[in-house]
Amino acid sequence: MTSDISVPEIPAARPVTHVPPVVEEVLAPGEQDVLTERIKALLVERDAVLVAHYYTSGALQKLAEETGGCVSDSLEMARFGHAAKAKTLVVAGVRFMGETAKILNPEKRVLMPDPRAECSLDLSCPADAFSAFCDAHPDRVVVVYANTSAAVKARADWMVTSSIAVQVVAHLHALGKKLIWAPDRYLGDYVQKITGADMLLWQGSCVVHEKFKAEGIRALKAQYADAAVLVHPESPASVIALADVVGSTTQLIRAAAELPQQTLIVATDNGIFHKMHLVTPGKTLLEAPTGGAGATCVSCAHCPWMAMNGLRGLLHVLESGDNEIHVDPGIGRRAVVAINRMLQFAGQTGVTVAGMSGD
């Protein structure tokens, strides 16, 4: 008997129809000092620690480091929160980062400065549609990127960060496994080309990284011939092809410090420049062009959802306890299996997993 159910080989991601404009927090003269002093006191009073992503504002990153918190990629943020003694984690980042912190720290309270902070990759991959696609391909191992909801992680066999994706996929490929990969098509394509694995790619993308343009980088290279090009692998293949270094946020920061070149063209969210400037004194950092003349992108090299994190929101959640992140315990228990599989693999192989996504 033949089946009349046809399953698309290439899954359609949910289109992300609304990308908010980038709105940076604007503070009145002297307000930053007042806010930071109040926040510092409340972090102590509430037994809380601030963990901030590299793409948040310099003010938030500085505050996190000054108060014994951490600035990192999302997985390291969650791991730091696990090791921290504080009972409350305040996650300055986007929703999936808060969820990952909660999954790894179910006994702790997780707060976020702004509940509207999403991620286009997460939004492109709703759990119900993704689960149906996985169900239609039961012969494939399901590998998802960190930039996904708790429910999508719960449906996966593995969760990976950008810094370990190649190694995990190569490992599964060597075992003869065929894969489903979600949600970032550019990172999936990059991993597929390196490993040669059989991968069905979900067609999501990052609204920031997909805007980088190869022709703009070439033009910049014509001006700065000695510059090195650093690219996050959520960028299009034509941009990755121009890179001297391809890597996660943590890997790009490390490369910026270690490379001999004094001028660096960087294709990732420009929030990374706060940390990159600190580790590259004297070097010139250039933002990779996103659209050239007449660009229409609303998120030119900066994530609009990351920009929603501000000092006012941070103070508000510390005062009120609002914006707490909850993860269904059953989903959390399944999601942590996929995360732990990666962590165990990293432990066995010595691969560093720090460096999540764009994030």
Scanning 5-13, 84-92, 171-179, 206-214 for contacts with ligand SF4 by CB under 6 A, the matching segment is 206-214
Query: Could you say whether residue 94 binds ligand SF4 (CB under 6 A)?
Result: yes
Separation of alpha carbons 7 and 145, rounded Å: 23
Residue 60 main-chain phi, psi, to 5 deg? -70, -40
Query: Could you say whether residue 89 binds ligand SF4 (CB under 6 A)?
Result: no
Query: What type of residue is 274?
Result: H
Kindly tell me which residue out of 22, 110, 112, 207 binds ligand SF4, with binding defined by CB under 6 A. 207
Under 8 Å between Cβ of 67 and 51: no
Q: Which residue do the tokens 């706060």 mark?
A: 274
For residue 82, the minimal CB distance to ligand SF4 (Å) is 21
- Considering beta carbons, is residue 121 or 134 the nearer one to ligand SF4? 121
Query: Could you say whether residue 307 binds ligand SF4 (CB under 6 A)?
Result: no
Query: Could you say whether residue 246 binds ligand SF4 (CB under 6 A)?
Result: no
First to last CA, the chain: 47
Query: Could you say whether residue 204 binds ligand SF4 (CB under 6 A)?
Result: no
Query: Could you say whether residue 112 binds ligand SF4 (CB under 6 A)?
Result: no
For residue 357, the minimal CB distance to ligand SF4 (Å) is 5
- The sign of the CA dihedral 59, 253, 172, 341 is negative
- Of 238, 235, 237, 236, nearest to 252 by C-alpha is 235
Query: What type of residue is 25?
Result: E
Query: Could you say whether residue 147 binds ligand SF4 (CB under 6 A)?
Result: yes
Q: How far is CA 26 from the centre of its chain?
A: 25
At 312, which helix (H) or strand (E)? helix 311-320
Q: How far is CA 312 from the centre of its chain?
A: 23
Q: Which residue do the tokens 């003869």 mark?
A: 176
Scanning 63-71, 246-254, 300-308, 310-318 for contacts with ligand SF4 by CB under 6 A, the matching segment is 300-308
Q: Is the peptide bond before 15 cis (omega within 30 degrees of 0)?
A: no
How many C-beta atoms surround the C-beta of residue 324 within 10 A?
Answer: 15
For residue 68, the minimal CB distance to ligand SF4 (Å) is 25
Scanning 135-143, 195-203, 241-249, 301-309 for contacts with ligand SF4 by CB under 6 A, the matching segment is 301-309
Print the binding letters for residues 44-73 with ligand SF4: x by CB under 6 A, - otherwise: -----------x------------------
Scanning 80-88, 255-263, 302-310, 329-337 for contacts with ligand SF4 by CB under 6 A, the matching segment is 302-310
Query: Could you say whether residue 124 binds ligand SF4 (CB under 6 A)?
Result: no
Query: Could you say whether residue 208 binds ligand SF4 (CB under 6 A)?
Result: yes
Under 8 Å between Cβ of 131 and 155: yes
Query: Could you say whether residue 357 binds ligand SF4 (CB under 6 A)?
Result: yes
For residue 239, the minimal CB distance to ligand SF4 (Å) is 14
Query: Could you say whether residue 119 binds ligand SF4 (CB under 6 A)?
Result: yes
Separation of alpha carbons 188 and 148, rounded Å: 14
Q: Is the peptide bond before 281 cis (omega within 30 degrees of 0)?
A: no
Separation of alpha carbons 28 and 44, rounded Å: 25
Kindly tell me which residue out of 13, 50, 267, 303 binds ligand SF4, with binding defined by CB under 6 A. 303
For residue 72, the minimal CB distance to ligand SF4 (Å) is 14
Query: Could you say whether residue 105 binds ligand SF4 (CB under 6 A)?
Result: no
Compute how many residues bind ligand SF4; rule: CB under 6 A: 16
Under 8 Å between Cβ of 265 and 230: yes
Binding to ligand SF4, residues 250-279 (CB under 6 A): 269
Kindly tell me which residue out of 54, 130, 158, 305 binds ligand SF4, with binding defined by CB under 6 A. 305
Non-local (6+) Cβ contacts of 219 within 8 A are 289, 292
Contact positions vs ligand SF4 (CB under 6 A): 55, 94, 119-121, 147, 206-208, 269, 303, 305-306, 357-359
